[in-house]
Amino acid sequence: MDTSKEYAKSLDQQDPLSHFRDEFYIQDGTLYMDGNSLGLLSKRAETSVFRILDSWKQLGIDGWTGGEHPWYYLSEQLGEQSADLVGGKKEEVIVTGSTTVNLHQLVATFYKPEDGRTKILADELNFPSDIYALKSQLELKGYDPDEHLVQVKSRDGREIKEDDVIEAMTDDIALIVLPTVLYRSGQLLDIKRLTEEAHKRGILIGFDGCHSVGVVPHHFHEWGVDFAYWCHYKYVNSGPGGVGGLFVHERHLNETPGLSGWFGSDKDKQFDMDHTFQPAQTAGAYQIGTPHLLSVAPLIGSLELFNEAGIEAIRRKSLKSTQYMMDLLQRELQGYGFRIGNPLEDDRRGGHVCLEHKEAARICKALKDKGVIPDFRSPNVIRLAPIAFYTSYVEVWETMQVLKDIMEQKLYEQYENKRGVIA
């Protein structure tokens, strides 16, 4: 392949999404490769925050039902607008809560131990917060997590084999919770196959979409996924602490949520103030508390960009960008001890490149001091994520040149091989 900067420039000239870069605030002298942890601020997200603030300023309490974006209905409207990102029907998606709160809600609803089915199946590479929540839910039901939480083992510490998950779908499993994309290695699981195999055995299955929503197209409704949950502050660029989202398949919309709250009420009956909960007949029933308007506001502008670009086009550029990064790594940084830890196949790779190196923590520190913003994951992973909206191919090329310079001059040796407070 051509490893010249001119070739990278030619890729940018042919990029149909290149104009979206101007929509984002990008700091001069910085190569931002951490959008898989926190997406950058877009001008539209900023504008939508000001608009919600202005509605509060101008309307006061009347902002709940008046103005450009009436607050009372905003979570449902944003759920409808984000449904295409996950392949859900508009009534199956709601913007609410946070990742872990939504997981608690969904497990409280769908984990129903009975008739010898008492265990929850997860995997050993999942994000810790999910495992904390699953253990907590088991304990609330009176079960010992050491016995009733089954975690599928990884054969290599990087990936989870679908065959191993399916083998673990035994008669004592009541519920399965898995990530769509593994947060370290970037492995994209075969969601459709796993869902089909779970349902053949009468097991409900849900997915954590935090590391895929906004970069990988999904078809949760078509695939029959029972439920899913995700954050919006990574690839969807809704800001730190941005409100999350969840999906519940339409066949379950008659379920009473495990954790009932006032904002899960039927909108027409909510202000009747009756002490008998009358849930909405949509995923809106899974809301618990009042929407966090100032935290959800950036999503209004962010979703405008997704609706204009289209998730399929975003996926095409993401795959091309990560492939380009891996090609450069293999050509330019041979012999420096790196191993690509993510799957190489397009249909098995999420939105980031996983580089493994024994000096990963100190290499990340050296990158940051050189203006490249990476992401470290213990014990030895450097995650780099070129984001379709705002990362150019020239920036991918420049990132690899900085990394090459660090390795050639051994600049990382001046740093301690130890993570910071926030990795």
417 has a pLDDT exceeding 90: no
Q: Please give the pLDDT value at position 30.
A: 97
Mean pLDDT of 42-46: 98
Mean pLDDT of 124-153: 97
**CATH node for 48-308:** 3.40.640.10
Q: Please give the pLDDT value at position 305.
A: 98
Q: Cα–Cα distance between 304 and 151 in angstroms, integer?
A: 38
Q: Please give the pLDDT value at position 422.
A: 67
Q: Please give the pLDDT value at position 236.
A: 98
- Which residue is listed with tokens 């497990």? 107
Mean pLDDT (the chain, rounded): 97
Q: Please give the pLDDT value at position 423.
A: 67
Mean pLDDT of 213-218: 98
The b/e string for 354-391 (b: 16+ C-beta within 10 A; e otherwise) is bbbbebbbbbbbbbbebebbbbbbeebbbbbbbbbbbb
Q: Please give the pLDDT value at position 360.
A: 97
Identity of residue 276: T
**CATH node for 5-32+310-414:** 3.90.1150.10
Contact 122, 132 (CB under 8 A): no
Q: Using 50, 70 and 90 to split pLDDT, how confident is the model at 419?
A: confident
Bridge-based pairing of strands 173-179 and 204-208 is parallel
**Tens of pLDDT along 350-376?**
999 999 999 999 999 999 999 999 999
**Tens of pLDDT along 94-137?**
999 999 999 999 999 999 999 899 999 999 999 999 999 999 99
Measured at the alpha carbon of residue 171, what is the angle toward residues 165 and 175, in degrees to the nearest 5? 60
φ, ψ (nearest 5 deg) of residue 233 = -85, -5
- What is each CA distance from 38 to 55, 76, 223, 390, in whole angstroms? 27, 24, 28, 13
Q: Please give the pLDDT value at position 162.
A: 98
The candidate with the shortest Cα–Cα distance to 248, out of 227, 229, 265, 230, is 227
**Tens of pLDDT along 177-208?**
999 999 999 999 999 999 999 999 999 999 99
Q: Using 50, 70 and 90 to split pLDDT, how confident is the model at 2?
A: confident
The ranges assigned to domains in the chain are 5-32+310-414, 48-308
Mean pLDDT of 231-238: 98
6 has a pLDDT exceeding 90: yes
Bridge-based pairing of strands 245-248 and 339-340 is unpaired
Q: Please give the pLDDT value at position 418.
A: 79
Annotated binding site: 99-100, 127-130, 208, 211, 233, 262, 290
pTM equals: 0.96
Annotated binding site for pyridoxal 5'-phosphate: 99-100, 127-130, 208, 211, 233, 262, 290
421 has a pLDDT exceeding 70: no
Q: Please give the pLDDT value at position 420.
A: 78
**Other CB atoms closer than 10 Å to residue 332's CB: what's the count?**
15
